[in-house]
Structure 1
Amino acid sequence: MEIKRRDFLRLFGGVSGALLIDGCGLDEVFDLPANMIEKAKKGAGIEAWSSTICSLCPGGCGIQVRMIDGIPVSVKGNRFYPVNLGGMCPLGINALHELYNPDRAKTPLRRSGDRGSGKWEPVTWDDALKTVSEKLATVRKEGKSHQVGFLGYNERGLMREHISRFMRAFGSPNYYQFSLTQNDTVAYQLLQGQSQVPAYDILNAKLIMSFGANFLEGGYSPVYHTKLYSHHQDRNTRFVQIESRMSLTGANADRWVPVRPGTYGALALGIAYVLIREELYDKEFVKNRTFGFEDWVDRFGGKHTGFKSDVLGNYYPERASQITGVPSATILELARELGNTRPSVVLGDGGAVANTNGTFALMAVHSLNALLGNIERGGGVLFIDQPPVQKHAMVSEDPVARTGNHQTPIAQPDEIAFPMTDFSIESFAQHVLAERPYPLRILFLYRGNALFQSLNHDDLVNALKKIDLIVSFDSVINETSEYADLILPDHTFLEKWDEVSNVPSVGFTHVGIQHPVIQPLHDTRHTGDVLIELARRVGGTVGAAFPLNTYEEEIKFRMKGVYLSGEGAVATQGVRQLWLDYLQQRGWQIGRYASFEEFWDRLLEHGGWWNPIRKKKSSSEVFRTPSGKFEFYSQTLKASVDRLVAKAGAPRSSQNLDLVLNRLNISARGDSVFLPHHEPVSYEEDKPLYLIPFHVLPNPDGQAANLPMMQEMFGYTARRFWSSWVEIHPETAAQYAIAEDSWVWVETSVGRLKVQAKLSHAIVPNVIAIPFGLGHTSYGRYAKGHGVNPHSIIRNLYDLISGKAAFEATKAKITLAS
């Protein structure tokens, strides 16, 4: 039953400070069961608060939900949960919009028209599960279990392991995750052998230099980083933000340095030049804990150029300035400040990695941390311990599963591209289209929206059309799930159990417990429970892979390991790092509980567990490389290229090496290939302007476009609401007779978009920027038909090392619209 949001809140004595909006003629409504509305009409009753974890973005913030007579009416931050300490972003504050969204899928749905037609009919859960399980059983009976795929989104911790366990027991190697942060760890793998995104000890650093990392507005946990940033003045910390368009982080920095798109790595190497030339680097760390800094000789007597020689020979400030557009005097200032301020830490993300040269750019950025010697040191770069959760035994595979799991994954690159990853959405789409190395017959979709976020829309649509059965687990139908055959609706996060652990870039070990604050409002089910049910219906070793009956039991099973470890503490008032450290040094524990049940009750009451005390790591744990050191010269990348050369033909053939490097979009030759270096981006010469998409806090990945308040806040910095715009420097605008609010066409070789112009000095001349997040063609009444999607006109290009999309590798022209 639909009710206007303002009327709903007035039933509880007012709007409690909430904003009332009336955007674009759409009157915001909540959709609740009739009995809840009738209960609310009786007036305010018993108040209670329930702690859980928000999952509207990857940030993992602790929240508290205000309940009146069991009805959620408002949300606030949990001030004792260590990730956000009471802070919240606009998304979390508006969590009730997701719970009461009128466009939720309220029951299982079966497609009744062509794929993409938006025509559905309701079906019972039993009928839907029967259809899916019978299809799964048929595939297994035919010995083709590997022809089933699972495309997830940002799931971590238990949910990731849960899906992986289902797929392994079933017998398919085709479980993938697609998101805008996909393959973020490749540079760290090449330099340190680390497969996780590091954390940065911002609180204890005296200087933070960020190459494109908009950590106050995007990334993994903006609220966590905002809390750290809030201490910068009293701790005399300086922030330097380097980027092509001034982000929220840039606006709050002590210094913003504009840089030409695609040249972040060259700037980092220009700074490295000064650090090395003026001996401002940590000589002891570099000598004892790095490989490939000086020129060196291999075991066969071959001479190799080191990072020092390569940088001093190629990246002097004047050349770096020519490449980047940053004055050489500025490069000198940045390097000297970095080298003379300790501890300092350097971050890279955003524009630094969103290009065809992103891997080498991030390698260059991270190499500055090695020069400063601040890896695994206070105020530097940290790699976080995994929580001591209890895990099930390995899956027992029957012959069908063993055979299926040994098949080549369908998304695995079978040519030269993407050597450092087992998945890119591009290789997935092309291989499904070509049925190479086999057809994909069943695909599960879990959350996410690959069609909206990816670049090659048409090929992905055609790939989806080739799959016999697509099953989507989500709460609202979006552009991707429009091509499903069945919608098996999941709960919203306020209705479900989950575990949210070790959010990337957060500087301590933690586990948040998400639990239902209200029973499901509609005929929805937890995807974790549905997978258990499907496994049981398939039977045999697939069913036996899940010994517990529910996903809730799985969470409790995992947390018994945390309980038994005696480490860390439940996140409660007064439990801070210094106190935990004091107790640990004396062999004491913060919490001794009479039973696991008491520990579990405390977890649910307070939201989760954390352990800020990091275990001391050996050098081999910090540097999991062939040399056991930080590798300026990446032997991992060298081995990968050698394998590709051998695959192409004779291993020692220089022609084959050139073929491989050209296919990988690498113009460097010799040892420079395996060192951090600048790779020029191949822009189209006939287009005068660089086009970059950017992300805003209320809707960073497009997933919040179905929440009306987020549409109202979308352009809060530009005073644009429910619509898109293009930002352009006044000097550039004058060249094209463009004024503020002019309607313009932004045109690339892929297509064109019509938007209004926003003149801004906070962008590099000859660069234009369009926010990402709007332009939906599906996803409910509040999302559909508002704004434009800049990804729809960006060239289908990738970093051919990591597989990340090159969102900033497109140039455009701009003209006034008639």
Structure 2
Amino acid sequence: MSSCYFGGVSRRTFLLGTAGVTALSQFPLSPLAQAMSEDRLLSAKPGTGKWIATTCNGCTSFCAKQIYVQDGRALHIRGNEFSKVHGKASCPRQYLSLQELYDPDRVKTPLLRMNPKKGQGIDPVFKPISWEEAISLFADKIMALREKNETHKYVALRGRYSFLSDILIKNFTTVLGSPNAITHSSLCAEADKFGSYYTEGGWEYRQYDIKNTRYVLSFGVDPLSANRQVSYYCSEWGNMLDHAQVAIVDPRFSSSASKADEWLPIIPGQDSALALSLAHQILVNDGWHKAFVGQFIDGVNRFQSGEVVDPLAFNELHTYGLVEWWNLELKDRTPEWAETVCGISAEQIKRIAQKLIAAAPKVQIWRSRGAQMQHRGAYTTIACHALNGLLGAVDNEGGVIQYNSSREDSVPSAKEFVDDLAKKGLKQERIDRVGRLEWPALKSGKSGGGVLTNVVADSILSADPYKPEIVLGYLNNFTFSAPGTQRWEDALKSVPFVVHVTTNISEFSWFSDLILPGSHFMYEKWGVQGSCGNMHSQVSIIQPIIKRLGDTVDDESGIPWLLAKELDKRGFSNPLAYLKSIRDPETQKEPITGDELGLYAAKVVTQPLWDPAKYVDGDKFSGWDEFLQKGVWNSEPYQFRQLWGKMKTKTGRFEFYSETLKSALSKHAEKHNTDVDEVMRICNYQAQGEMAFIPHYEQPYRFGEPAEYPMLFIDHKSRLNREGRSANNQWYQNNLDIDPGAVKHQDVVKINPIDAQQLGLKNGDRVKITSIQGEIACQVSIFEGVRPGTVAKAFGQGHWAYGKVASKVFGQEALGGNNNTILPPAHEHLSGAAAFYGQIGVRIEKMIEG
């Protein structure tokens, strides 16, 4: 790959194909070499640095941080002492950001593709160009769409982001005249939000009162590795174990399972069977929380296995439809039935049910991507969450809590800057097809209200609803992070102009025509983030705490600013007019640079928090300067039981029979002149009639016949994955064995000793893993902590780009295998979530070397 731009420390030249050799003197040293150069080290004096507040964007915990900066270099990291969510606590991943920041393989200047051919192993021949050249080219492409009245053929794909990303992705795209501001949300956890919304009316994540709980039942969640507020749980989990028991339901023995009282190695995809049988057992044992749910009028429990109950005999309080749920589904879902389905013994199910009853209402049922983000997973998520309602754990001490309200504003709207031409483009169908009959994506009860990120590749390939001409990828790598990776490679090959904003040349970059260097979120830009935990919400600042490395800009604000100025020169002034409307709230000054735009936008979004004239509650500041110095605003503590009887469902109550889901499905069906049964059929669910509106058992869809693909594949997250961006540093590779069963510097598949013996495998053997979607190669790790008949593999390795450390041969050969290469591009249609889990059949074969 000698002709590809690559920022390695050892490189003395950049070879640009037949264009010859460009001297290193025209480009800066690598960021690491520049930051740690001898003259700067000599000037450093002990005690001359200071702690500066910022926020970690390495996962969706969004922890407030303080960085120790000395002589312009970031040296040390800790949790922000002013945060009431996590304080100074941190997770193992935070220090990896330093190697990301000073990664010698970072993109340091705009790059233009010189080779028109695209493909893995084909050198793009990237040529360094100026920002002026790059933005001028980008603007020309946009203007060409306007001239053809095809502005809808501009697509913006968002990966990692802050609240300010609306400037570049949502609002700038709107002003251009495209409906296609596509987020990564359906690759994240939309099925998780589905379970909360269609039971209690909140399309959001949850927090957990672990300081007061007595029992935690976790369906696949690994809070010590990969969940919201990992920092907080890492610091508080041990204390919780002094007063609470923990049971982890997971086919894989996770980090959290190693710190639990009980591990339930369930058959993949069968979590709803366990949840429903627990609900059955709780009811027949008179164990529901009567202060929340209600009671039989005469006080006599009529929930008996197999017996129908008269709804008029039960007086419900803050819930709705319990008896209907029992009659339609639960009466036959005994522990004995569940044992044959999910692989957990009836005796263990009964024991867990008794522990939940004894601890209620101070119990917590957690649910993970692994349990929910599977084909037909919508009913798993509401089945699991219904247990919280049954036990009175919703909005209660020791239970499962919604997020506290936070007071930040949004980035100002761009609607008034949309001209007539752009309005025509905005009326076109979105590229991800949301709202079609087969794609309900029922975010917040609205047909097509969600997003279908992974459908975009199929839409591009089939030109349905149309073929995009410009695709902007912002800090994403969907060719690596979305199931069915080959589709994304083929799709991007076919797009005339692909722009990628990125810190490192990734797999997505390899198919791009123009690369714009991204800033590191934690250190080099303005932004705002929000998070919640420990009974508080927080809003924290991201700020440029060091001088940006290389020739980069504040990408969420600087790139739209430069592009708007260039479009203004071409007679399209609306984008620049919009950006200039985002003024400093203290002085009303218009921005004159992209950096000022980022600063002013951050101040506008957070003004309700730091401006004394706008104070409502939570932390109070004297002004912007104090807020910037402390870096975080905290809400008031959560007030329990504020939602009892006032939930945002159709009934105002916690819904076991979901009138809210019934309404959403009915409206979607009416939109397409059909009925709910047809919606369920076309979306490949089994439910018909009223079953569609209650938590019920849906048989997991199996990908691959057992005879050909006998094992089930478990995709999971490593404790060291910072949104998949950490693989290109040595600290990551040197510490991979922090995960149970993992091996340093290797990409491993974990196999139970029983299966390994049958397959004739031993530790270190190279194997090929094949599914109906594709195949990958990696190394065997024999590990008792994985259910027999399954294999487990962490996501994160398998890069063939991203840098010298992440790949075996940069641009050509991967280090291990990418899980998403073998995951089918399936979806959970009701929520819109991509399906990474469930019953994905694979075949394991030993590779003969040589």
TM-score by length of 2: 0.83
Q: What residue in structure 1 maps to residue 829 of structure 2? A: 800
Secondary structure of the structure 1 residue equivalent to 2:611: helix
Matching residue's letter, 1:563: W
- Which of 573, 590, 596 in structure 2 is aligned with 1:540? 573
Q: Distance in 2 between matches of 1:792 and 1:748?
A: 9
Secondary structure of the structure 2 residue equivalent to 1:203: coil
Say whether 1:430 aligns with 2:482. no
The more displaced of 273-282 and 692-701 is 692-701
Question: Counterparts of 1:485-500 in structure 2 under 5 Å?
Answer: 485-500=513-528
Q: Distance in 2 between matches of 1:621 and 1:435?
A: 48
Question: Counterparts of 1:715-794 in structure 2 under 5 Å?
Answer: 715-716=737-738, 717-718=740-741, 720-785=743-808, 786-794=815-823
Q: Distance in 1 between matches of 2:802 and 2:281?
A: 51
Q: Distance in 2 between matches of 1:134 and 1:620?
A: 56
1:708 to partner: Cα distance: 1.7
Instruction: List alignment gaps of at least 5 residues for structure 2.
Output: 1-6, 11-29, 296-307, 314-320, 444-449, 584-590, 592-596, 809-814
Distance 1:379 1:661, change over 3 A: same
Q: What residue in structure 2 maps to residue 321 of structure 1? A: 339
1:182 to partner: Cα distance: 4.2
Q: Distance in 1 between matches of 2:668 and 2:71?
A: 64
CA contact (8 A) 1:775 1:784 kept: yes
1:34 to partner: Cα distance: 7.6
Q: What residue in structure 1 maps to residue 551 of structure 2? A: 523
Q: What residue in structure 1 maps to residue 656 of structure 2? A: 632
1:143 to partner: Cα distance: 2.9
Q: Distance in 1 between matches of 2:233 and 2:209?
A: 10
RMSD value, Cα: 2.9
Matching residue's letter, 1:346: I
CA contact (8 A) 1:77 1:85 kept: yes
Q: Distance in 2 between matches of 1:737 and 1:430?
A: 39
Q: Distance in 1 between matches of 2:614 and 2:252?
A: 43
Q: Distance in 2 between matches of 1:95 and 1:568?
A: 34
Question: Counterparts of 1:188-203 in structure 2 under 5 Å?
Answer: 188-203=196-211
The more displaced of 447-456 and 33-42 is 33-42
Distance 1:372 1:47, change over 3 A: same
CA contact (8 A) 2:155 2:178 kept: yes
The more displaced of 670-679 and 68-77 is 68-77
1:173 to partner: Cα distance: 1.5
Matching residue's letter, 1:332: K
1:347 to partner: Cα distance: 0.8
Say whether 1:705 aligns with 2:705. no
Distance 1:285 1:225, change over 3 A: same
1:146 to partner: Cα distance: 1.9
Secondary structure of the structure 2 residue equivalent to 1:513: strand
Question: Counterparts of 1:591-670 in structure 2 under 5 Å?
Answer: 591=620, 593=622, 596=623, 600-614=624-638, 619=643, 623-643=647-667, 645-646=669-670, 651=675, 659-670=678-689
- Which of 544, 553, 556 in structure 1 is aligned with 2:603? 556
Distance 1:622 1:145, change over 3 A: farther
Say whether 1:111 aligns with 2:119. no
Q: What residue in structure 2 maps to residue 278 of structure 1? A: 285
For 1:355-383, what per-residue CA distance to the aligned partner results, in whole angstroms no more than 9, with x for missing partners? 21321111101001111122222222222
Secondary structure of the structure 1 residue equivalent to 2:633: strand
Q: Distance in 2 between matches of 1:491 and 1:610?
A: 27
1:171 to partner: Cα distance: 2.2
Secondary structure of the structure 2 residue equivalent to 1:477: coil
1:643 to partner: Cα distance: 4.6
1:659 to partner: Cα distance: 4.5
1:741 to partner: Cα distance: 3.1
CA contact (8 A) 1:294 1:308 kept: no
1:622 to partner: Cα distance: 5.8
The more displaced of 355-364 and 170-179 is 170-179
1:307 to partner: Cα distance: 0.9
Q: Distance in 2 between matches of 1:756 and 1:465?
A: 31
Matching residue's letter, 1:399: D
1:618 to partner: Cα distance: 6.0
CA contact (8 A) 1:725 1:755 kept: yes
Q: What residue in structure 2 maps to residue 240 of structure 1? A: 247
Secondary structure of the structure 2 residue equivalent to 1:768: strand
Question: Counterparts of 1:574-585 in structure 2 under 5 Å?
Answer: none
For 1:377-420, what per-residue CA distance to the aligned partner results, in whole angstroms no more than 9, with x for missing partners? 22222222342224465430322233222322111243413442
For 1:262-299, what per-residue CA distance to the aligned partner results, in whole angstroms no more than 9, with x for missing partners? 100110111000111112112342249xxx998599xx
CA contact (8 A) 1:705 1:782 kept: yes
CA contact (8 A) 1:218 1:700 kept: no
1:195 to partner: Cα distance: 1.6
Matching residue's letter, 1:348: R
CA contact (8 A) 1:305 1:671 kept: no
- Which of 403, 412, 419 in structure 2 is aligned with 1:384? 403
CA contact (8 A) 1:691 1:769 kept: yes
Q: What residue in structure 2 maps to residue 212 of structure 1? A: 220
Secondary structure of the structure 1 residue equivalent to 2:164: helix
CA contact (8 A) 1:49 1:64 kept: no
For 1:475-512, what per-residue CA distance to the aligned partner results, in whole angstroms no more than 9, with x for missing partners? 11110122111111122134423334322667422111
Q: Distance in 1 between matches of 2:774 and 2:155?
A: 31
Q: What residue in structure 1 maps to residue 21 of structure 2? A: none
TM-score by length of 1: 0.86
Distance 1:567 1:726, change over 3 A: farther
The more displaced of 243-252 and 557-566 is 557-566
- Which of 164, 167, 174 in structure 1 is aligned with 2:170? 164
For 1:436-488, what per-residue CA distance to the aligned partner results, in whole angstroms no more than 9, with x for missing partners? 22331212111121111112222222222232222111111110122111111
Matching residue's letter, 1:601: D
For 1:111-161, what per-residue CA distance to the aligned partner results, in whole angstroms no more than 9, with x for missing partners? 111334332001111111111122223323433222211110142423246
Question: Counterparts of 1:428-467 in structure 2 under 5 Å?
Answer: 428-467=456-495
Query: How many residues end up aligned between the 2 structures?
Result: 757
Q: Distance in 1 between matches of 2:611 and 2:170?
A: 25
CA contact (8 A) 1:239 1:255 kept: yes
1:93 to partner: Cα distance: 1.5
Q: Distance in 1 between matches of 2:644 and 2:563?
A: 42
